[in-house]
Chains A and B, each alone.
Chain A
Amino acid sequence: MPYSELMIRPMREELTSAGVQELRTAQDVDAFLAEKSGTAMLVVNSVCGCAAGMARPGIRHALAHGKRPDRVGTVFAGQDLEATARARSYFQDIPPSSPSIAFLKDGELVYFMPRHRIEGRNAEAVAGDLMAVFEEHCAVTAAS
């Protein structure tokens, strides 16, 4: 059962205020993933502070420094059910996990950070892993 939207809003805005595109419908997800060229990161956001509470600031930090993906989108697990299901349908070999982060290059999944690689770590550690992926695969540098 979804949480109150009032409670969720700050968790959405923590990512959207960093330039992450919110994907609220299956159509939004399809449109986001239809673009195959370049790099894209798709974040499965979630409520639980045990992991998502570290994932969101880690993502914000990574996006603000150095190279960053061409496109960054997010679905909210447990809230935007249709959009989340559609996003997961693109990665059928990957067990569902939230929060989690998928990174694609030219339409191919090249990196995946499941929940268990986020929980128990701090935001800087999560950001460090993402920045290493950005450095390897991305060409665009974040505006300073």
Chain B
Amino acid sequence: MGTFHQNKSALHGITVVVDTTGPEIVIGRCEDEDDRGIFLNEADVHQDGDGGRSKEAYVQRVAMVGFWKKHDHLFIPREKIASIRRLGEV
């Protein structure tokens, strides 16, 4: 048994990878998604090339053990979103 959440998007509670149209890639737990964009809780933002890691290299590393949150809440507007995928499917 557990708690379940009504009136939220299908990605609610799911850890997602949000690639942006810019150099940032964001990973966080989806709170909700709508026409305006995606709302994340406990998110991390990686800049392409930071620490010598490309966006994809960062995602692959995070997929193994998880990530350290840098933001409690984050909103990414729809026009900046290139793609959204589930981290668990990476």
A residues near B (Cβ < 8 Å) are 10-11, 14, 47-53, 56, 93-97, 100, 112, 114-121
- With beta carbons under 8 angstroms apart, the residue of A10, A49, A96, A116 that contacts B87 is A116
* Tier of interface size on chain B: 10 to 19
Give B47-68 as 1s and 0s: 1 = Cβ < 8 Å from A's Cβ atoms: 0000000000000000101111
B residues in contact with A10, CB < 8 Å: 1
Q: Is the CB of B88 within 8 A of A49?
A: no
A residues in contact with B3, CB < 8 Å: 47-49, 53
Chain B interface, DSSP helix/strand/loop, else mixed: loop
Q: Is the CB of A116 within 8 A of B13?
A: no
| Smallest Cβ-Cβ distance to A7: which chain B residue | B3
A6 to B88, CA, bound (A): 32
Q: Is the CB of A119 within 8 A of B13?
A: yes
